Amino acid sequence: MTTTATAPKAGKAPKAPKAPSSDRSRAENRLAFKLVAPAIALMLLVTAFPMLRALYLSLFSYSLTSPDDREFVGLANYATALSDGLFWRDTGNTVMIMIVTVIFELVIGFAFAMVMHKVIFARGVIRTSILIPYGVITVVSGFAWQFAFSNTNGFVNSWLPFVGDDFNWFAERNSSLIAIMASEIWKTTPFMSLLLLAGLAQVSEDMLEAAKVDGATWWQRLYKVILPNMRAAIMVAVLFRALDAYRIFDNIFVMTAGANGTESISFLTYRQVIEQFQLGIGSALSVLLFLSVLVVAFVIVKLFKVNLADARQEG
Amino acid sequence: MKTDVKSRIGTAIGCALILIWCLLPVAWIISLSFKSQEAVTVGSPGFFPSKGGGAGWQNYQDVLADDQFRRAIFNSIGISLIATLLSVILATLAAYAIARLEFSGKKFVLTTALVIAMFPVVSLVGPLFDMWRTFGIYDTWPGLIIPYMSFTLPLAIWTLSAFFREIPWEMEQAAQVDGATSWQAFRKVIVPLAAPGVFTAAILTFFFAWNDFVFGISLTSTENARPIPAALSFFVGADPFNRPASLLAAGAVVATVPIVVLVLFFQRKIVAGLTAGAVKG
């Protein structure tokens, strides 16, 4: 990354001489604000403003079924949520799904990227097909996999040798979660592999050739040359996919509707707010969900030392 | 020589695996959509419709004859197109400023976009549900268009600013030397050059809007604005274990067709757009 970091800046170089002219730079500043303002306003209207409102509502006992009984309860909603086993069970599910799916996606996605990097013949066909899972609606993917795993109308049981033909995947928690994760992994691996492919393209062929000449084995070349050189791409892909997986909702809604303890934290929040109209406790859960995403992002960034500016090449 | 052959065989096997991975579930849902509803009720395990268990085009005819389903397709197309159009316009303005102008809030804009791209959408559903009812846009098109715009803006801004950095800006300066203002240079010189990038951002934005489920089920209550993913999930009531599988599969195939068509035509642009923001070389 560092070698290419300067390239995009080249386009900006001619700007430097303009800096001293304060009139001009002030006009530029004003124009920039005008151009950026609508987008920023809209993004904040639908995120920051409702989030603040959630923060406020979370301090009340407030149900839409009896809106007049709204009552200030301080942090009681948070105490209720955090002392409830459901919250921790669902957070556990979510974290588990996130870790397992991201690991599978990373490994399979990397293998796919390696193949796509090598393939010359039929490149267009491969790239077109890899985009199809990405384009398929998550709900449709959920249906496809739910029916595939179904013991009355699916094919998975008859194809898998170690599963009985009438095994019901959706009768208990672990097998339900496997089905949910299968759908999630199927749909998002292609996206991962495209990000990794872009990173792979940045690994210098000369360096690989040199390693080969020096007698490095395939594994050595992978671990010592390829992976370290596409670190930034891997980290960005992991960060994006992990945070996306943490929001998992569609697949669970379609495939199990949270039955048998397969709820995610997003699903719990949705259920409180939309199905049970509990805006007070639901808002507290919303705030907790938001905070937990921040924690996850922070942990990943710190753990893997992701430098987003490096990947984005922005100062 | 030997390793060369080996690696070529490996690549070929890899390609086959990728194709199976990508196309098998799609083939499955298409195959399912041709199973007859009677066969599915009794139970018809296996990948292909059993003998006598095929339905021909019957499921497709049924699903397209369904008013709620037709209405949902109409909603999805309308809402996604409007959201895409507006989002891309706003994102183009913002991305131009980010790629081209020096201003003090640049970092703030980029950080905001990044945070919003990763925002847990479900956490907004409660307050938005409440707000939209107060504003009277609950269960309407604008009620979905507005959140779709906000959540596609980061992706669009991201993609577009990456594209805009590749544009030969000397041409803009040439225009300015000839007496054009910043705004004129933007409108007359840069917009035509930027069109391909804008188009890519539009496709990705459309994908997002078409795929959305959380807002679709939370901010609608009738077929007035319910988009297709939500309509599919509500197709037969609440029992998730007893759905008319083949009919749903037909609906799912219909909902997927527009996306597949876009992918087939614009594969190159989509790949460029998806990776432009994340890993720039």
Residue B237: CB atoms within 10 Å: 8
**Of B85, B211, B227, B218, which Cα lies nearest the Cα of B156?**
B85
Q: Is B124 in Cβ contact with A51 (below 8 Å)?
A: yes
Q: Where are the domains of chain A?
A: 86-312
In eight-state DSSP terms, residue B25 is H
Calculate mean pLDDT across residues B88-96.
90
CA distance linking residue A33 with residue B108, whole number of Å:
12
pLDDT surpassing 70 at residue A231: yes
A21 touches chain B (CB under 8 A): no
Calculate mean pLDDT across residues A275-292.
88
Q: What is the pLDDT of residues A150-186, one digit of tens each?
A: 887 788 888 888 877 778 888 888 899 999 999 999 9
* More reliable by pLDDT, B145 or B199: B145
pLDDT surpassing 60 at residue A9: no
Calculate mean pLDDT across residues B115-120.
84
* More reliable by pLDDT, A135 or A18: A135
CATH of domain A86-312: 1.10.3720.10
Question: How distant is the Cα of A84 from the closest Cα of chain B, in angstroms?
Answer: 18
Q: Is A53 in Cβ contact with B131 (below 8 Å)?
A: yes
pLDDT surpassing 90 at residue A240: no
Identify the pLDDT of residue A93. Answer: 92
Question: How distant is the Cα of B254 from the closest Cα of chain A, in angstroms?
Answer: 10
CA angle B229, B233, B235 (to 5 degrees): 110
Residue A52: CB atoms within 10 Å: 12
Identify the pLDDT of residue A307. Answer: 59
A295 touches chain B (CB under 8 A): no
Q: What is the pLDDT of residues B160-179, one digit of tens each?
A: 888 887 778 788 788 888 88
Residues facing B256 on adjacent strands = none
Q: Is B183 in Cβ contact with A31 (below 8 Å)?
A: yes
Contacts of A232 in chain B (CB under 8 A): 279
CB nearest to A257's CB, from B97, B154, B240: B240
A151 touches chain B (CB under 8 A): yes
- Calculate what percentage of chain A has a pLDDT beyond 90: 22
Contacts of A64 in chain B (CB under 8 A): 130
* More reliable by pLDDT, A11 or A222: A222
Whole-structure pTM value: 0.84
**Lowest-confidence segment of A293-297, B190-194, B238-242, B248-252 by average pLDDT:** B238-242
pLDDT surpassing 50 at residue A4: no
Identify the pLDDT of residue B274. Answer: 74
Residues 270-289 of A with CB under 8 A from B: 270, 272-274, 279, 282-283, 285-287, 289
Nearest C-alpha in A relative to B203: A135
Nearest C-alpha in A relative to B114: A308
pLDDT surpassing 60 at residue A313: no
Contacts of B18 in chain A (CB under 8 A): 112, 115-116, 126, 129-130
Calculate mean pLDDT across residues B239-246.
65
pLDDT surpassing 70 at residue B62: yes
Domains (range + CATH), chain B:
1-60 (no CATH), 66-276 (1.10.3720.10)
Question: How distant is the Cα of A157 from the closest Cα of chain B, in angstroms?
Answer: 9
Q: What is the pLDDT of residues A30-76, one digit of tens each?
A: 888 888 889 999 888 888 888 898 888 888 888 877 777 778 888 88
Nearest C-alpha in B relative to A138: B211
Q: Is B263 in Cβ contact with A158 (below 8 Å)?
A: no
Contacts of A131 in chain B (CB under 8 A): 263, 267, 270-271
Residue of A94, A97, A137 to mutate, testing the B interface (most B Cβ within 10 Å of its Cβ): A137
CB nearest to A112's CB, from B18, B150, B169: B18
Identify the pLDDT of residue A312. Answer: 47
* More reliable by pLDDT, B172 or B97: B97
A235 touches chain B (CB under 8 A): no
Nearest C-alpha in A relative to B281: A4
pLDDT band for B238, please (50, 70, 90 cuts). very low
What are the b/e assignments for B127-138, b being 16+ CB within 10 Å?
Answer: bbbbbbeeeebb
Calculate mean pLDDT across residues B179-204.
82
A138 touches chain B (CB under 8 A): yes
Nearest C-alpha in B relative to A241: B118
A115 touches chain B (CB under 8 A): yes
Identify the pLDDT of residue A308. Answer: 56
A173 touches chain B (CB under 8 A): no
Identify the pLDDT of residue A102. Answer: 95
What's the alpha-carbon Rg for chain B, to the nearest Å?
23
Q: Is B106 in Cβ contact with A32 (below 8 Å)?
A: yes
A51 touches chain B (CB under 8 A): yes
Report the range out of A250-259, B78-87, B107-116, B256-265 with the highest average pLDDT. Answer: B78-87
Identify the pLDDT of residue A306. Answer: 61
Calculate mean pLDDT across residues B238-250.
70
Residue B51: burial class (beta carbons within 10 Å; 0-12, 13-18, 19+): exposed
pLDDT band for B77, please (50, 70, 90 cuts). very high
Asked if residue A267 lies in contact with residue B97, where contact means CB atoms within 8 angstroms, the answer is no
pLDDT surpassing 80 at residue B67: yes
CA distance linking residue B106 with residue A312, whole number of Å:
13
User: What does pLDDT average to over chain B?
Assistant: 83
Annotate B42-106 with three-state secondary structure: HCCCCCCCCCCCECCCHHHHHHHHCHHHHHHHHHHHHHHHHHHHHHHHHHHHHHHHHHHCCCCCH
CA distance linking residue B249 with residue B235, whole number of Å:
11
Q: Is B235 helix (H, G, I), strand (E, B) or coil?
A: strand
Residue of A29, A87, A125, A128 to mutate, testing the B interface (most B Cβ within 10 Å of its Cβ): A128
Q: Number of CB pairs < 8 Å for A and B?
A: 342
Identify the pLDDT of residue B79. Answer: 94
Asked if residue B149 lies in contact with residue A47, where contact means CB atoms within 8 angstroms, the answer is no
pLDDT band for B236, please (50, 70, 90 cuts). low
Q: Please give the backbone phi and psi of residue A72, each rounded to the nearest 5 degrees, phi first.
A: -75, 125
Q: Is A57 in Cβ contact with B153 (below 8 Å)?
A: no
Q: What is the pLDDT of residues A256-280, one digit of tens each?
A: 888 888 899 999 999 888 888 888 8
Q: Is A114 in Cβ contact with B14 (below 8 Å)?
A: yes
Q: What is the pLDDT of residues A81-121, one digit of tens each?
A: 888 888 999 999 999 999 999 999 999 999 999 898 888 77
CA distance linking residue B48 with residue A297, whole number of Å:
44
Calculate mean pLDDT across residues A290-296.
90
